[in-house]
Structure formats: C-alpha cells, structure tokens
Amino acid sequence: MRIALITFVAACLVVAAPIFARPTSAVDQELVGSVGPGFGISLRDANGIGITHLDPGTYTLVIHDKSDMHSFHLVGPGVNVGTDVTFIGDQTFTITLIDGTYAFQCDAHPTVMHGSFGVGTAPPPTTTPTPPAPKPLTLAVGPGKRLTAPAHLAAGRYAITARDSSAIDDLHLKGAGVDRKTGVAFKGKAHWTVTLKAGTYRVFSDAHRSLARKISVS
C-alpha cells in the first residue's frame, strides 16, 4: 500500500511540474526597415521604436519598400543586404550583427535618406541635422510626340523621375549646373537628383529638337 501511495504522489508531481517557456533569444527579434513612398527611411524594432543601439546577435530584418525610386540598403560588419531601387514590396533577411557601426540608406538618395546605429561596444551614433529632402518631380517623353514638363518651378533640390516611353526620342534636361538625359533607344525610368537654380532650363529630345519645353526656375 505504501509503495502504491509513493508511486501515485510521484506521478502527480510529474504532471504538476511547470512547463517553462523557451527564453527569447536574439534570433527571435525583428527589425523593420521602411522606405518610401515619400523621402522617408527608417529602421525600427517590433514595437515601432527607432533603432540607435542593439546587442550582438542574429536578427530578422523585414524591409517594406514602398517606392520604385528608393531602396533600403543595410551595410556594416558582415552585413550587406537590401532592396533594389526599382523594387516595390517586402523582403526578409536573416542577419547576424557583431560589435561595430551599421548604416542604412537609399542608394538613389544617400545624402538625404540615411541612418546608422551601434552594436555591442560601439556607441550610438551622434545625431546631426538632416538636410531637407529633395522635392519629387516627374518629366516624361512619349508615347508618341509628347513631352511633359512643368512651366515653372521654385529653385532647390529635386528628385526627378524621368519616364521615357519612346524608342525614337530621349529625355534631356539641360540648364545651369544640370545636363542629364536618357538614351534615344532607352525606354524606361531614370532617377536623377539635381539642384535647379534661378534661370531657364530646357527639356527636349536630341533626336527631334522641335520637341521641347522650357522650365522657368525662380
């Protein structure tokens, strides 16, 4: 009888033994990178808090790329991952971070869309004022004998999307400090970041000079 009682108590202890949850490790932590649709880029943790410093370890990086004129590129010791400029959508990477400084940027606009953070013994980055983001501007040529450009603009920095839908014309922007163009045989989109100064700029086709517009910048 005593042996049976001991066996019963032991069985109860086994059943009642607490089940402990697996401790959370760095591999479970998620980092969220976001870029676009405007000129914004960020890296946050799963709670939406901006990243300035992390512990070394393995992380899941989820990138939300919301623009075909921007990219999200993360680089640092042992890490070089990101999206392409023309890509729109989500991409996921598994990354291992070690002691050091890591930086993320838009490859098309690295001087105005960027950030950094420290890992391990590396200190958080010092903050510096961010210059104003360039204003978006779209210029277009084609289809057919069509050329689209505004007549007036304010002086300043512009992130230009040049849409070339013609196989017989190019899109050429020329003026003070600016001389950018697509090829005559080129069809697609090009991205230029330029500074327009007060004066007159011309948007035209090199193949058919009569296809032209003037932009007055003041």
13 domain residue, yes or no: no
**Could you tell me which residues are beta bridge partners of residue 104?**
74, 115
H or E segment to which residue 182 belongs? none
Q: pLDDT digits over 166-214, tens only?
A: 999 999 999 999 999 998 989 999 988 899 999 999 999 999 989 999 9
CA 93 to centroid of chain Cα atoms: 15
The answer on 111 and 148 residing in a single domain is no
- CATH code at position 106: 2.60.40.420
- Angle at alpha carbon of residue 58, lines to 53 and 59, rounded to 5°: 70
Q: Residue 32: which domain range? A: 25-119
Percent of the chain whose predicted confidence (pLDDT) is above 70: 84
128 domain residue, yes or no: no
Position 123 pLDDT exceeds 90: no
Q: What's the mean pLDDT when you consider all of the chain? A: 85
End-of-domain residue from the set 86, 119, 152? 119
80 domain residue, yes or no: yes
C-alpha pair distances (Å), 129 with each of 34, 38, 115, 124, 157: 20, 19, 12, 16, 17
